[in-house]
Amino acid sequence: MNRPGGKSAVAIRHVAFEDLGSLATPLERQGFAIRYVDAGYDAIVDDDSDLLIVLGGPIGANDEVDFPFIRDELRLIERRIAAGRPVLGICLGSQMIARVLGAKVYPARAKEIGYAPVRLTEAGEHSCLAPLADHPVLHWHGDTFDLPQDARHLAATQICPHQAFAWGAHDQVLALQFHPEVTARGLERWLIGHSGELASVGISVASMRQAAARHSGALERAADAVVQTWLTGAMVS
C-alpha cells in the first residue's frame, strides 16, 4: 500500500542478505514505501506498485526447472515492460530482464567477483550511471547476457562486455550486472552466505572486507546519485 501522497516499490529478493542495501535510502527519500517479496516463499504477482526491483541471487535466470518461480518473475517483468512501467534489475534481475527482452543469458568465461570499475560507454557517460565513472563497484556473478535489441549499452568490463543497459523511451528499464547497492556492513552477510563460493575461486574473506572498507563509502554516494537520476526520468508517465 502507498503512503499518503507517496509511491510504492516492490523488491523481489532471492536470498535474505541480498537486499536493497544503500539503494533504500534514495528510494525512501523520493517517497517510496518499500515492500520485499521473497521469491520461492511469497507469491509473485503484479500488485500495481509504481516501481519493480528484481535483486540478485545465487541461481540463474534459466533455472526455472529447479526454481519454477522464475517463470512468474519473467512474466511479471514482461507485463511491466509492456506497460511502460519502471523496472530495475540487479545481477540476476538484470539477466532476467535481458531474457525477457529476447537476449541470451549464459555462463561468462570466468566468474567476476570483487571490486573493480566498469568502463562506461559513450551512452553510459551521458546516462544515470555517470556518477560511477572511476568508482570501483562490486561484481559477484558467473553468468552474463547478450545485449537486447534496441537497448542502450551503458557499461562494460573485460570479462563481461555487457555490464549495464537501459531500454525504453525514458530508460524505464535499467539492468545492472554489477552490484551498486552493497555496503561494507551489508557485505559481511555476503561473506558468510557466499563463503563457499569465495573459497572455490581462491578469494579470501579478508581481501573482500579490505576492499569494501576502501571503496564502499564512495560507492554508496555514487549509487545514491544513480538512483535519483534514473528515477527522475523513469517515473515520467
Question: CA nearest 137: which of 163, 158, 161, 159?
Answer: 163
Distance CA(173)–CA(101), nearest Å, equals 10
Assess whether 160 carries a catalytic annotation: no
For residue 146 the three cell numbers come to 547478450
Pairing of strands 173-176, 164-167: antiparallel
Distance CA(87)–CA(136), nearest Å, equals 24
Using a CB cutoff of 8 Å and minimum separation of 24, what contacts does 123-128 make? 123/152, 123/153, 123/154, 123/166, 124/153, 124/154, 124/155, 124/164, 127/152, 127/154, 127/166, 127/171, 128/166, 128/171, 128/174, 128/226, 128/227, 128/229, 128/230, 128/233
Which among 73, 112, 181, 220 is annotated as catalytic?
Answer: 181
φ, ψ (nearest 5 deg) of residue 15: -140, 145
Assess whether 135 carries a catalytic annotation: no
Which among 14, 153, 162, 179 is annotated as catalytic?
Answer: 179
Which among 73, 91, 160, 194 is annotated as catalytic?
Answer: 91
Assess whether 126 carries a catalytic annotation: no
Question: CA nearest 185: which of 37, 19, 57, 53?
Answer: 19
For residue 70 the three cell numbers come to 522464475
Q: So which residues are the catalytic ones? A: 91, 179, 181
